């Protein structure tokens, strides 16, 4: 069913039907009503495809995420999808994994779909291949990157201050009298590298960095267990992500260590995991949800050709619970 079918039954032209559908002015009220009636009668649904072709706007955006199963990405995707939809934009969501060439190919896909703009969630997208793919395929499109720096002209960057987050966490533990404070990291994303920097800044010579833990509960468990048995004096650990810390909590408990008396633990992101943890996990709130909200805001404004700030940084918050 097309607008021509509607037009025919209404005894008007397709142009008129189009005007009614789009609420354009300059239509006799009686015609408008007549057409609306027939539209309703057939539950007519316009082809966004055809419309997009002539309007040069698909009213779709792309959301690229390394892995939506990751709780804090799914929250971001949720917030952005809802906000965009309420302004009429559908979201194409793609999981790219952490492989830059996969990311690049997703970017090409988005280009073929003729999205009106897109959002990259996570610092993992801040790499050369992605940059190249964007300038090749999505050159002029507005986009925003959440918590990553790409330094491209058409884009906005909404950032968490990860360095400060780690610095604050470490400083807090030092203040509380902890002497040997370690940092357990998983993947080497730009975001995690900043956390390490902040941690080092606070610890200086006394920094103890465990790198390359698998990015999971088990990864945190193993890394913590190993660290704790190799170095009996560790009395504080900061983790690059909450889920690692949950594994760490269990490892410490299995080793019979008192939390937080003997050992303090701090996670990162203040995700729902942190209060699901038992004992509840203290965590650095990177305010990712607010970042996501802001991402959608900013993209929407860019889509309307409004001027936007190209860089917004959200300061972190240290949330204390039962592991410190």
Partner DNA sequence: ATGAAAGCGCTAACAG
Partner DNA sequence: CTGTTAGCGCTTTCAT
Nearest of 201, 252, 196 to residue 224 by alpha carbon: 252
DSSP state of 240: S
Neighbouring CB atoms inside 10 A of 200's CB total 18
Nearest of 189, 198, 188, 187 to residue 266 by alpha carbon: 198
154: three-class secondary structure by DSSP: coil
Q: How far apart are CA 253 and CA 259, in angstroms?
A: 8
Judged by CB, which is closer to DNA: 12, or 295?
12
Token pair 């987050």 in the structure block, residue: 165
Q: Which stretch binds its own copies (CB under 8 A): 51-59, 153-161, 192-200, 206-214?
A: 51-59
Judged by CB, which is closer to DNA: 89, or 183?
89
Q: How far apart are CA 29 and CA 165, in angstroms?
A: 60
**Min. distance of Cβ 128 from DNA in angstroms?**
27
208 binds, among DNA, its own copies, none (CB under 5 to 8 A by kind): none
239 touches its own copies by CB under 8 A: no
Binding residues for its own copies restricted to 75-94, rule: CB under 8 A: 75, 77-78, 81-82, 85, 90-94
User: Alpha helices of the chain — where are they, by DSSP H?
Assistant: 3-10, 14-21, 29-41, 48-55, 71-85, 100-113, 128-137, 162-175, 190-203, 217-230, 242-254, 272-276, 288-303
**Min. distance of Cβ 28 from its own copies in angstroms?**
27
109 touches its own copies by CB under 8 A: yes
**Min. distance of Cβ 27 from DNA in angstroms?**
4
176 touches its own copies by CB under 8 A: no
Binding residue for its own copies (CB under 8 A) from 32, 34, 113, 180? 113
Q: How far apart are CA 84 and CA 94, in angstroms?
A: 16
**Min. distance of Cβ 89 from its own copies in angstroms?**
10
68 touches its own copies by CB under 8 A: yes
Write each residue from 258 to 297 as x if it is in contact with its own copies (CB under 8 A), else as -, in one continuous string.
--------------xx-xxxx-------------------
Q: Are 65 and 73 in contact (CB under 8 A)?
A: yes
**Min. distance of Cβ 37 from DNA in angstroms?**
14
Binding residue for its own copies (CB under 8 A) from 9, 18, 36, 52? 52
């Amino acid at each position: 069913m097309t607008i021509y079918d509607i037009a025919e039954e209404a005894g008007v032209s397709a142009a008129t039907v189009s005007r009614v559908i789009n609420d354009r002015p300059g239509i006799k009220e009686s015609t408008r009503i007549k057409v609306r009636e027939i539209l309703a009668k057939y539950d007519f649904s316009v082809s966004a495809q055809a419309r997009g072709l002539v309007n040069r706007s698909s009213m779709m955006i792309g959301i690229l995420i390394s892995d939506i199963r990751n709780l804090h990405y799914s929250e971001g995707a949720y917030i952005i999808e809802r906000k965009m939809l309420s302004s009429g934009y559908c979201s194409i969501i793609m999981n790219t994994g952490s492989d830059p060439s996969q990311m690049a190919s997703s970017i090409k896909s988005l280009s073929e779909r003729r999205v009106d703009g897109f959002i990259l969630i996570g610092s993992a997208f801040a790499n050369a291949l992605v940059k190249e793919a964007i300038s090749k395929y999505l050159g002029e499109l507005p986009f925003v990157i959440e918590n990553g720096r790409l330094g491209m002209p058409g884009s906005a960057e909404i950032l968490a201050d990860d360095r400060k987050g780690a610095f604050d966490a470490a400083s807090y533990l030092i203040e509380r009298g902890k002497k040997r404070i370690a940092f357990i990291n998983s993947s080497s994303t730009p975001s995690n590298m900043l956390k390490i920097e902040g941690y080092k800044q606070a610890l200086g010579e006394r920094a103890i960095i465990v790198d390359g833990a698998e990015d999971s509960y088990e990864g945190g468990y193993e890394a913590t267990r190993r660290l704790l048995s190799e170095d009996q004096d560790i009395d504080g650990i900061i983790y690059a992500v909450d889920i690692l810390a949950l594994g760490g909590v269990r490892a410490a408990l299995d080793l019979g260590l008192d939390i937080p008396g003997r050992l303090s633990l701090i996670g990162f992101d203040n995700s729902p995991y942190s209060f699901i943890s038992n004992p509840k996990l203290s965590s650095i709130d990177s305010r990712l949800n607010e970042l996501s909200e802001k991402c959608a805001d900013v993209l929407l404004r860019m889509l309307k050709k409004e001027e936007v700030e190209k860089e917004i940084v959200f300061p972190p918050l240290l949330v204390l619970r039962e592991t410190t």
